[in-house]
Amino acid sequence: MPAGTYTIDTSHSEVGFTVRHAGISKVRGQFREFDGTLVIAEDPTASSVEVTIAAASVDTGDQGRDNHLRSADFWDAENKPTWTFVSKRVEGDGEELTVHGDLTINGVTREVPLEVEYNGAGTDPFGIARLGFSASTEISRKDFDLTWNAAMETGGFLVGDKVKILIEAETVAKQDEDDAAAAADVEASA
């Protein structure tokens, strides 16, 4: 894994989640607005990551459900608009890592382990260095005070407690990103 500072290329990345619905299926969703920075150290266990997610950018493919998720019943996106993940420590060998960090959702912060798989590095046709990662964790909604639910007539609840968070991240070397932006500015002014 090449050391350096990288930013998430949001046009080639995804922050998604799945949760049980009615005890019989899974609802999937994603966030459309997020950003983050990774600092990859020579020793991968000395690396760090910070990610910010716009809570209101949720997209489950159903506008009514999305509006309900944004409401005070769930994460009150108007008053608590930002979610964050800030790493505290990294364990592993470089190919498969566990990144322990503080996840803040709905104004509540809990430490969670993020299982990370390093997918590789490459340079795109424009000379920009890129790294790819897949990551996942599972959280309890209740741990983040996300307790709204409805009892089912047949027993159980409408919304499951466990939420699987799935991330596909393509990152861009910070210097290359700055160089590409400067080149685009020069071309635009010419």
Which value, to the nearest 10 degrees, does the dihedral of the CA atoms of residues 165, 55, 4, 167 take?
Answer: 20
Interacting residues of 163 by C-beta distance below 8 A, sequence separation 6+ = 17, 18, 19, 138, 139, 140, 141
Q: What is the DSSP string of the chain?
A: ---EEEEE-GGG-EEEEEEEETTTEEEEEEES-EEEEEEE-SSGGG-EEEEEEEGGGEE-S-HHHHHHHHSTTTT-TTTS-EEEEEEEEEEE-SSEEEEEEEEEETTEEEEEEEEEEEEEEEE-TTS-EEEEEEEEEEEEGGGGT-----B-TTSSBSEEEEEEEEEEEEEEEHHHHHHHHHHHHHHHH-
Length of the chain, please? Answer: 190
Residue 99 · residue 90 · CB < 8 Å: yes
- The strand pair at 159-173 and 129-140 is best described as antiparallel
Residue 67 · residue 59 · CB < 8 Å: no
How far lies 112's CA from each of 24, 52, 57, 140, 165, in Å?
A: 27, 15, 22, 10, 11
What integer pLDDT is reported at residue 1 of this predicted model?
A: 81
What pTM was computed for the model? 0.83
**Digits of tens for pLDDT over the chain (190 positions)?**
888 999 999 999 999 988 777 666 688 899 999 999 999 999 989 999 999 999 999 999 989 989 988 988 888 999 999 999 999 999 997 678 999 999 999 889 999 999 999 999 999 888 899 999 999 999 888 888 777 556 667 766 656 678 899 999 999 998 755 555 555 555 565 5
| CATH numbers and ranges of domains, the chain | 4-189 (2.40.128.110)
What integer pLDDT is reported at residue 13 of this predicted model?
A: 95
What integer pLDDT is reported at residue 139 of this predicted model?
A: 87
Residue 145: how many CB atoms within 10 A of its CB?
14
Query: Which residue has 């949760």 as its token pair?
Result: 19
What integer pLDDT is reported at residue 135 of this predicted model?
A: 95
What integer pLDDT is reported at residue 14 of this predicted model?
A: 96
What integer pLDDT is reported at residue 77 of this predicted model?
A: 92
